[in-house]
Structure formats: structure tokens, C-alpha cells
Amino acid sequence: MTFITRARRQRRLARYEQVVGLHRQGVSARAIATALGLSRNCVRRLIRAPDFPESAPRPRRPTGADPFAAYLRRRWEAGCHNAAMLWRELQGLGFAGSVEVVQRHVAPWRQALPKEQRRGRTPFHLPRTPTPSPRSVLWLLLRPPERLSAEQTAFVVRLHTLCPAIRAAQEMACGFGRLVRERRAAGLDGWLALARRSGLPELAGFALSMVQNKAAVAAGLSSG
């Protein structure tokens, strides 16, 4: 708890004790509200509280690293506590944010580490081959598996293991590609239903936009 947080709590506690003390003396809620410059609802809430109501922690605002939270957590628990290294790994998975975003994301985890480890840098080994760019990764995911080299196939399998959401997105994208290539308008409804239930916001949004223009999309699939 920071100094500012402690000071705020002390002020709230003092106000609570004033309200409760006046109430025990028989002072009405209206009179207490007037005397202390509070709303009557606030006074009633404090009077009815069984104990001093601690303020609820503010929910953490979403950050750009949230879609990669599961991956970051696995790597952190595996012993990689270097935010710069984690950031470089995320770039290979399509992350476009800055290293500061990753640093803020892992900051609460760092505070939970033993004191002697908080400022230390966890050693890591650089990969033998350069991390592919996001465009290269996309190319690998959309390319037919039989046309990938053994090294490329191993990379894709590792990517699937580290981030199952990428595998789900790849399967949906390839499924849509087959519909387009084979001109199968009859399969569009099934694909749209799967996309909207996929749990992937980007894919669900894409499916929703297609539903709104379904007639045109179906006509495009049917035309030879």
C-alpha cells in the first residue's frame, strides 16, 4: 500500500468513525450529513455497515498484452522473468505493442518474487534461428501443411502448443479458404456459426460483418 493510499484510507476511516459516533449519540442521518458535508445515502451506508467498509481494489485495465496473457504466464512460471525477452517472443506471435506494455503486464508478478530476484535478470538463451516476422508467421499458418519444411512444421507445432488460440484461428481461416476455393456457399452458415462461437473476438467480429452482408458473400461464393 502506497503512502497516498494509506492517507486516503485514514481519511475514510476517520469519516466512518465520525458518522458512527454521531449516530450512537442519537443524531439523525440528515443532521450527520449536513454537519459533515456528506450525502444522506453515504451516511446511511456507513451506519448500516457492520464494520469499516474497505474500498474494493480497482480492476486492472486491459492492456495490449492481454490476448497473450496465458502465454506470458506460462513463460513466467517456466522461469523467464526478463520483460525484454518476453516482448521479443510476443513479437514473433504477432504482438505489435511496446516493451513497456509487457513490463507493465508482468509488474505484479515481479512484485511477488523474492526480494533478491526482483531486480535481477533471468538468464536466457537466444534462439538459434531469428524469430520470424508476424508476416512470415501468417504465411506459415496459411500455407498447406504438406508444403512446409520440417523446420517450419516444427515451428507451427510449437506455436500451437504455446497458444491454442492461434491453432483455432488457423483452422477457421483455412476452413473459410476452402469454402472460397471450392465455391461452397452451402457451407457458409456452418462456418459463420463456428466463427461466432470461437471465443476469438477478431474472428467473431469478422463473422458478424459477413452476416450483415450475407447475401453478397453467398453470391460471391456461388459465382464461378
**CA pair distance 96, 169, nearest whole angstrom:** 18
Residues 163 and 169: beta-carbon distance below 8 Å: no
Q: CB-based burial of residue 211 (10 Å sphere; 0-12 exposed, 13-18 middle, 19+ buried)?
A: middle
Q: CB-based burial of residue 107 (10 Å sphere; 0-12 exposed, 13-18 middle, 19+ buried)?
A: exposed
pLDDT of residue 47: 93
- Scored b (16 or more CB within 10 A) or e, 185-200 reads beebeebbebbbebeb
Domain ranges of the chain: 3-48, 66-118, 134-222
CA angle 108, 110, 113 (to 5 degrees): 120
Cell numbers given for 112: 511477488
- Residue entry with cell 449536513: 34
pLDDT of residue 48: 92
The pTM assigned to this predicted structure is 0.37
Sign of the CA dihedral running 186, 191, 196, 202:
negative
Residues 176 and 191: beta-carbon distance below 8 Å: yes
Give pLDDT tens digits for 54-80: 876 666 544 578 888 888 988 888 888
| Helix (H/G/I), strand (E/B), else coil: 100 | helix
pLDDT tens digit at each of 224 positions of the chain: 565 677 778 888 888 998 999 999 998 999 888 888 889 899 999 999 988 888 766 665 445 788 888 889 888 888 888 888 888 888 877 788 888 888 888 888 888 877 766 554 444 444 445 667 778 887 888 788 788 887 888 888 888 877 778 888 888 888 888 878 887 778 888 888 888 877 777 777 787 777 777 787 777 777 65
pLDDT of residue 124: 42
